[in-house]
Structure 1
Amino acid sequence: MSPFVRKVLTASGATAVQIADKTGGKYRIVEHLGSAHTPEDLAALVEAGKAKLRDPGQATLDFDTADKPRVASAVVKSSRSGLLIDTIRTVYERLGFDIIDDEAFFQLVAARLVEPTSKSDSVRVLDELGVDVVHRNTFLNSLVRAKDRDYRAQIAEKCFAHSVATTGISLLLYDVTTLYFEAEKEDALRQVGYSKERRVDPQIVVGLLVDRTGFPLEIGCFEGAKAETHTIIPVIKAFQDRHGVTDMVVGADAGMLSAKNLKELDDAGLRFIVGSRQTKAPHDLATHFRWNGEYTDDGQIIDTITPKGVKRLDPERVKKRREPVWSAEEHPDAWRVVWQYRRKRAMRDEQTLNLQRNRALAIIDGDKPAKKARFVKVTDEEKAFDEKAYERAMKLTGFKGYVTNIPVGTMPAAEVIGSYHDLWQVEQSFRMSKTDLRARPIFHRKRDAIEAHLTVVFTALAVSRFMQAATGASLKKIITSLRPLREFTGRVGGQDITFTPEVPRAVENMLQALEKS
């Protein structure tokens, strides 16, 4: 039977693509082309196999002699996704990560980028790519070395140097996420807590500090039950201690808004921009509402002050139409707060409030099971709709606040808002770590191993953010474009010859962009 392209489902869920033939009812693998994990991968590998079958020169080469034609067999000895692995290694070295003289660590990072899986299964991934894979035990030993030799500190130093040389660290962004474990029992680190994925498994809380482009600078690991507000200061201080940085702005969402956090950031000489809670708007905007009623222009910005703690601001201030201009000296009990009204945001807020209103009414009417819900007021075991709370919430739709300790002379209100909106970069980095890099679930048990795993993920995130920034393409697009382009080494007439793949124009442009970056 003539050779044909064969697709086989593997134990990992991938589809292996092979050139095979069938003799005497048995399949014989002529060549393994690779494993596909997406429809794009599969189509590319199948087409590569068909092309090899259509081109007889890939199987045999003819050599004419003076006497008579002689046919020499061409045997494929190996194949390799050279462009992909070499590209990852080049970026890894360009970032200076090769300061860590540990090939096993590099291979773990490369496997995490190409096909995130367990440490054991990384051997398969790398073998399919044509890498000279280290032993599985060497991977495990590398995780021990990562902790003992503090690989994370060395990687963080290089990340810092890259950010300073490119984007700069004038604005840093912070956020947290949770990573769960396939485990039944809790321990000192892996604990059940508030899960962003609404799971009840033991988890850890991970804090990530990035620059304004989303390039990672520091990562922290905390107990699963630890409150988000208690994570930002340790990560910021670790970053400061590591690099001796004092002059920077830290951006974080409203989840980090606590009087203690803001005071500690201010005491450390750091400037911050933190999202405010909408419930603070009536008091902060009392002057605006007094003189303008409920009308606000679309895009209008109100630069005013907000109390640092529970102490209220002077109620007499509303008698002056002009909002106070914040300074640390004149307002020791207040922070600067910038509020902006957007009609588009108001429409979204109103839709959300109406959904909450309908839910509350359904609970009051008994159409939905009784549970805690907004706008449900309980008095003497009687449920009623809280009309006043609903009206107050509707009045505030469209407003978003930003608390800061940066004077208006240093940063105008519009720039405060723009800087805060860069927070989507850290959110994107977390999405990448959970999807493209699959930081979770985690199968390690001991804290040292978990920390080492996060160091691998942190390093892979830095490599991927570099590649994405240079090419403008997603990590998935980069991997699926380069992975099928394999180089083949074969023996023809007693000589080893390597055949390089034909590189499509789009991939050439991608590689050129990486070279120029």
Structure 2
Amino acid sequence: MTFIRRVRTKSGATAVQVARYVNGRQEIVKHIGSAHTDVELGMLLERARAWIEPDQQVLDLGVTPQTPAASVLAAGQGVLLPAADDRPVVDAPGRTASTGSVVLRQILESLYDQLGFGVLGDEVFRDLVIARIVEPGSKLDAARVVRDLGKDPASYATIKRHLRWIIDRDYRDQIATKCFEHAAETGGLSLILYDVTTLYFEAEKEDELRKVGYSKERRVDPQIVVGLLVDQTGFPLEIGCFEGNKAETHTIVPIIRQFQTRHDITGVEMVVAADAGMLSAGNLKDLDDAGLKFIVGSRVTKAPIDLSNHFHWKGDVFVDGQVIDTVTPRHAKSTVNNIRHRTEPVWDPARHPKSWRAVWQYSKRRAVRDNQTLNAQETRAREVVDGAKAPKSTRFVKTTGKGRSLDTASIERARSLIGLKGYVTNIPATLMEPGEVIGKYHDLWHVEQSFRMSKTDLRARPIFHRTRDAIEAHLTIVFAALAVSYLAQHRSGLAIGNVLKRLRPLRSATIAINGTRHTFPPELDPDTCDLIDKITGPGLTH
């Protein structure tokens, strides 16, 4: 008959073996393993019983096998039975008490601390930031996400109290300061990028902040306008919100001034890039007065004015990649180009006080894309004129007292401008070549990427907060989450969604056995270790 025995090894561990009696002597049948802790001992005993049971019938004598709940292995014992003075408990089989993505949480916590956000000293806020990165949802649902990451979450009442602290203790300022320090260390402040988006609310009525305004999605829900300022790599620097009916052009200057005031950098040489939506005479003047250099997109409808010399002498013929460096009037009523001159004027702030520098580029690839769009618009316009489509606000449809007709003059004018893209700046050609102006503007995709991340991966919307303080607290969490997510993306070379897909399935298991609990980390393959080391730096996997 086989049985289980425990023996002390020379190294001080306790070996668990399956043995049997043969001719009055013990013979080892199977060496299960050696244990150094009570937890390991309990697991080895369970393994030994599982090994015996298929081959041996158990005599039901009404006696329950028992082992000590926590025996000191250093004492050593050559047999399975406990000492007479021990108090035995029922030796229940091992069970998985819980599992959690502890590795992922530790990685995100490491990035959070590396950015310096630990200066807040608020563990609940950190949990809310990490929960929003992993699985965006409501504050109430954040507790479930935190628990899935292997940590006991705070109560909902505690979460609400800490949301109040975000405003009262001005977390936004401290986070923005740490983001600025990080960008300064990495050299990303020579160019800052700005863009806006809208966040809508599940609300029936408007208030002072949440108002119905222009929506690219044609929604009629109350909304707010959110402005985001990032460095040239896409790392977030500043965030702010405005009334839902506020024009985009009225948001850039307040955000820039807020950024300058917060970090006391008035007069520091920086270049601000923004898309054509920010292009207004007032904005450009304010940025210039603030001592900032700017590069903004120009509307293609300004090309005939800016390129009047070219159109007069050379027509609408361009070659692929052609760049024209010229001037553009600051105000619609100004005239700065002179078609009597064949050459384009070179902008100089002293000689051209009524104009800005304009750089135009022609791209054959852009022309093909513009032509396809123009053809589709012309087709729709013809359908509206013919009555095949509902008469909505359609480009190239001219409405008069006699009815609708096709605006052929506008179509021809639009065709002459396909392939052109303009950029307006106050940086002289002596300081920045046209190609560099264009290249810096194209870095705007970084801020667009950050906005896509906030809308999709972080799901900053739809949000259900009612008060301005609650909305500002929510945006502060999103702001911190964007910074942590950016760092993970930048170091790993993967989108934050792919990082989560790789790391969240790595589950740590807490085993309850032999009266104790022990958490076992997941086994990491070399590729996963390399990924973690890229994100956090060496140390977390070692």
**Aligned pairs (5 A) from 1:202-241:** 202-241=222-261
Shift in Å at residue 319 of structure 1?
Answer: 2.1
- The answer (yes or no) to whether the contact 1:167–1:212 under 8 Å persists in 2 is no
SS at match of 1:282: helix
Equivalences for residues 76-225 of structure 1 within 5 A: 76-225=96-245
Determine whether 1:449 maps to 2:473: no
Per the TM alignment, residue 481 of structure 1 is displaced from its structure 2 partner at its CA by 1.6
- Three-state SS of the structure 1 residue aligned to 2:457 is coil
Paired position in structure 2 for 1:507: 528
Q: CA deviation at 1:287?
A: 1.2
Identity of aligned residues (%): 56
Q: Is the 8 A contact 1:303 1:323 kept in 2?
A: yes
Q: Is the 8 A contact 2:508 2:520 kept in 1?
A: yes
1:210-257 deviations in whole A, cap 9, x for unaligned?
001111000010000110000001000000001122321000000000
1:261 aligns with 2:271: no
Residue equivalent to 2:422: 401
Distance 1:325 1:281 in 2: 16
**Relative to structure 1, is the Cα distance of residues 58 and 268 closer, same or farther in structure 2, using a 3 angstrom cutoff?**
farther
Give the structure 2 partner of residue 438 of structure 1: 459
**C-alpha contact (below 8 Å) 1:62/1:69 kept by paired residues:** no
Residue in 2 that maps onto 1:358 = 379
Q: Name which of 476, 485, 493 aligns with 1:472.
A: 493
* Contact 2:336-2:354 at 8 Å conserved across structures: no
- Which of residues 47, 51, 54 is equivalent to 1:61? 47
Code of the residue aligned with 2:159 in structure 1: it is F
The answer to whether the 8 A contact 1:61-1:72 is kept is: no
Per-residue CA deviations over 1:270-308 (Å, capped at 9, x if unaligned) read 000000000000111111122322221100000000000
Q: C-alpha deviations, 1:72-113, integer Å up to 9, x for none?
A: 732333333111110010000000000111111111101101
CA contact (8 A) 1:61 1:74 kept: no
- The answer for the alignment partner of 1:370 in structure 2 is 391
Contact 2:242 2:251 in 1 (8 A): yes
Query: 1:59 and 1:191, CA in 2 relative to 1: closer, same or farther beyond 3 A?
Result: farther
Q: Which of 309, 312, 332 pairs up with 1:287?
A: 309
Kindly provide the amino acid, as one letter, of the partner of residue 339 in structure 1.
Answer: W
Query: How far apart, in 1, do the equivalents of 2:489 and 2:81 lie?
Result: 52
Which residue number corresponds to residue 12 of structure 1?
none
Kindly state the Cα deviation for residue 371 of structure 1 after the two structures are TM-superposed: 1.7
Distance 1:314 1:344 in 2: 30
1:274 has 2:281 as partner: no
- Rounded to whole Å, the distance in 2 between the matches of 1:288 and 1:507 is 57
Instruction: Determine if contact 1:62/1:72 at 8 Å carries over to the other structure.
Output: no
Q: Structure 1 488/362 Cα, relative in aligned 2: closer, same or farther at 3 Å?
A: same
Distance in 1, Cα, partners of 2:430 & 2:249: 29
Aligned length: 461
Q: Aligned partners of 2:214 and 2:180: how far apart in 1?
A: 31
Q: 1:138 to 1:367 in 2, by over 3 A?
A: same
Kept in 2: contact 1:61–1:492 (CA 8 A): no
Give how far 1:125 is off: 1.4
Structure 2 residue identity aligned to 1:311: K
Residues 314 and 448 (structure 1 numbering): CA distance in 2 closer, same or farther, change over 3 Å? closer
**Cα deviation code 1:478-503 (max 9, x no counterpart):** 11221121222224434543322011
Deviates more, 1:372-381 or 1:247-256: 372-381
Gaps of 5+ in 1: 1-55
CA contact (8 A) 1:192 1:202 kept: yes
C-alpha separation in 2, matches of 1:254 and 1:58? 69
Q: Confirm or deny: 8 A CA contact 1:177 1:196 kept in the other structure.
A: no
CA contact (8 A) 2:384 2:391 kept: yes
Which secondary structure state, in structure 2, belongs to the residue aligned with residue 318 of structure 1?
Answer: coil
Query: Which residue of structure 2 aligns with residue 337 of structure 1?
Result: 358
The change in CA–CA distance for 1:326 and 1:58 in structure 2 (over 3 A counts) is farther
Q: What's the TM-score, normalizing by structure 1?
A: 0.86
Q: Distance in 2 between matches of 1:144 and 1:58?
A: 50
Q: 1:181, 1:89 → 2: CA distance?
A: 30
Matched, 1:391 2:412: yes
How big is the alpha-carbon RMSD for the aligned residues of Structure 1 and Structure 2?
Answer: 2.0
1:386-423 Cα offsets, whole Å, 9 max, x none, are 11111010000000000000001111000000000011
User: Helix, strand or coil: the match of 1:302?
Assistant: strand
Largest Rg, 1 or 2? 2
Amino acid at match of 2:325: D
Query: Equivalent residue of 1:62, what SS?
Result: helix
- Residue in 2 aligned with 1:380? 401
Which string of whole-angstrom CA distances, capped at 9 and with x for unpartnered residues, describes residues 426-445 of structure 1?
11111100110010011110
- Paired with 1:351 and 1:490, the residues of 2 have a C-alpha distance of 62
The Cα shift of 1:68 comes to 6.6
Distance 1:141 1:498 in 2: 31
